[in-house]
A and B are shown apart, each in its own frame.
Chain A
């Protein structure tokens, strides 16, 4: 670029500078990308630190007993997260009980039985469920699902299964069961799509071998496909659990938000995420805020563990197919 008109044209430096420029360019490029790549772990470390720091007051005050105590009284500044943890677990497990058979049924049907023409469209439609914002589920839950449950489904359950403590007691509407049902709808697309991927990763030879031995198509699924995909399917379910544990808005709008542990699924409850959503912006005392940050910290830890476990299981099927076949 530098034009020196009168001097003899220098041959050597010109390529040197262009190489140098390339070198500088490479370094700048890599530097920029490194900054972006470094930002991700730094942000997470920062997130963990801020949560810990925010929770430190409550951690110092209650220690580990926080998760086993069940009083939550902002006025007396007495906080325990047991009902929240209970509510989170129960609503998520309810969701799994409903969603797992449905989504695995869909996943198996779509990979093994369905006509080719409808596979993509059905998977796409169920995938749309995952795109619906949580708050819209909540809105639908308040004005459509809960009236339906209160007038029809809950009385029916009480009349037929009322001998179980799960289905006894007064019917309010907003309840653990309502939250579990909406969560089931919300996690279904995740379990379905990961389950489908896992089933697609099962080699065709598995199916062919079973069919050649005279199995019906369903027997081929249960004897050859599902055992092969077992850990991956388990992973899909755990991934769904991870989603359900952290789900906030729809649950907040449907669960009734009461710090109580009740045996009945018709009774209102509370979850960790819902408590943070409801109380955080209105919390006045430092200890109240800190207790909520502690709840967030616990929720974060639980979801990290659950998700890491899920990834590990899925990874074993999806990439460890070599290991799977050598075990046969």
Chain B
């Protein structure tokens, strides 16, 4: 065997190894989804979505309280996080030279890498420790904080994609700067910005750590943001680490629902934007 063929077969060997790594990398995804469906789908029923949890040890019941809780906590987080994130993102894109832009961008990068549990400790110290009781609102604040850097970044990137000629055309027609920004630049990128927002919502919807000692979780249906509240990820955690077989079944079902919520939100966001762009272009 001459050197040339040896070198070539070594190259082929490495390619084979890399194909192997692709397969190994895809295995966990396959098995996680498979297990979720196998162990979770059987427990899904109308009751699961509409009923309160049964007392420990009894069968039946559902996770309606956690669904409502997640909806409220995440919705509130969106109300806090989206305006700040989008506003700051527009600022960074529209005033690129300013020192505040540099600072905000840098801080957003720092925040993006901050562990969610640390943000939870912050929300606890800021709100729970002051009020002396756990509250869903503190959880929303923590989630909002996790959202802001993601939303900020996508908003800024999206706006930067708008060609400058569009902005110049609007200004030349006598539009004031704010109308140019809002009705021309931002409007052109609105689908992109909303997608970024939805993706951020999808990511925080599955967060558990920041809620552990803010929203805390609860066995009851509650609409009061000032009180402890259940959330789907917290329910998965409690049921998975609990001692009962029945709880474990519910943990799988709740995890399946959680992952469907997250996937549908993020896939929906991506598909919506793709269709929009192909229609326009």
Q: Which residues of A approach B to under 8 Å, CB–CB?
A: 21-23, 25-26, 28-30, 32-41, 43-44, 46-47, 50-51, 53-54, 101-103, 105-106, 108-110, 113, 122, 125-126, 128-129, 131-140, 142-144, 185, 188, 192, 216-219, 239, 242, 245-249, 253, 273, 276-277, 280-281, 292-293, 296, 299-300, 303-304, 306-308, 311
B208 CB-CB contact with A under 8 Å: yes
Partner of A37, one of B8, B88, B117, B182: B88
Q: Is the CB of A277 within 8 A of B117?
A: yes
- Chain B residues in 8 Å Cβ range of A110: 22
Q: Is the CB of B115 within 8 A of A138?
A: no
- Chain B residues in 8 Å Cβ range of A134: 206-209
Complex Cα distance A218/B15, Å? 8
The dominant DSSP class at the A interface is helix
The dominant DSSP class at the B interface is helix
Q: Is the CB of B84 within 8 A of A39?
A: yes
Q: Is the CB of B100 within 8 A of A218?
A: no
Closest Cβ of chain A: how far from B180's Cβ, in Å? 10
Closest Cβ of chain B: how far from A44's Cβ, in Å? 5
Q: Is the CB of A102 within 8 A of B32?
A: no
User: Which of B105-113, B190-198, B272-280 lies at the interface?
Assistant: B105-113
Complex Cα distance A311/B119, Å? 21
B11 CB-CB contact with A under 8 Å: yes
Q: Is the CB of B113 within 8 A of A242?
A: yes
- Chain A residues in 8 Å Cβ range of B29: 125-126, 128-129, 132
Q: Is the CB of B117 within 8 A of A248?
A: yes
B255 CB-CB contact with A under 8 Å: yes
Query: With A106-B25, A135-B233, A246-B118 known to touch, is A40 a contact of B90 (CB < 8 Å)?
Result: no
Q: Is the CB of A185 within 8 A of B100?
A: no
Q: Render B240-255 as a binary contact track against A, CB cut-off 8 A, 1 for contact.
A: 1100000010011001
Partner of A47, one of B20, B122, B236: B122
26 contacts between A and B (CB under 8 A): A33-B87, A33-B90, A34-B91, A36-B91, A37-B87, A40-B111, A51-B121, A53-B125, A102-B25, A103-B21, A105-B18, A109-B19, A122-B22, A125-B29, A136-B258, A138-B240, A142-B240, A143-B240, A216-B10, A218-B15, A246-B118, A273-B209, A276-B118, A296-B117, A304-B114, A307-B112
Q: Is the CB of A40 within 8 A of B209?
A: no
Q: Classify chain B's interface size.
A: 35 or more
Closest Cβ of chain B: how far from A224's Cβ, in Å? 14
B135 CB-CB contact with A under 8 Å: no
Q: Is the CB of A303 within 8 A of B7?
A: no
- Chain A residues in 8 Å Cβ range of B10: 216, 218
Find the A residue at minimum CB distance from B256: A136
Most chain-A CB neighbours within 10 Å: which of B21, B112, B120? Answer: B21
- Chain B residues in 8 Å Cβ range of A54: 121, 125, 129
Q: Is the CB of A109 within 8 A of B21?
A: yes
Q: Render B79-110 as a binary contact track against A, CB cut-off 8 A, 1 for contact.
A: 00001111110111011000011011001111
Partner of B111, one of A29, A44, A128, A131: A44
Most chain-A CB neighbours within 10 Å: which of B92, B110, B203, B241? Answer: B110
Q: Is the CB of A133 within 8 A of B206?
A: yes
Partner of A51, one of B125, B177, B213, B252: B125
- Chain A residues in 8 Å Cβ range of B117: 246, 248, 273, 276-277, 296, 299
B72 CB-CB contact with A under 8 Å: no
B36 CB-CB contact with A under 8 Å: yes
- Chain B residues in 8 Å Cβ range of A246: 113-118
Segment 34-79 of B: residues with Cβ below 8 Å from A: 35-36, 39
B140 CB-CB contact with A under 8 Å: no
Closest Cβ of chain A: how far from B191's Cβ, in Å? 20
Most chain-A CB neighbours within 10 Å: which of B24, B108, B176, B207? Answer: B176
Closest Cβ of chain B: how far from A142's Cβ, in Å? 6
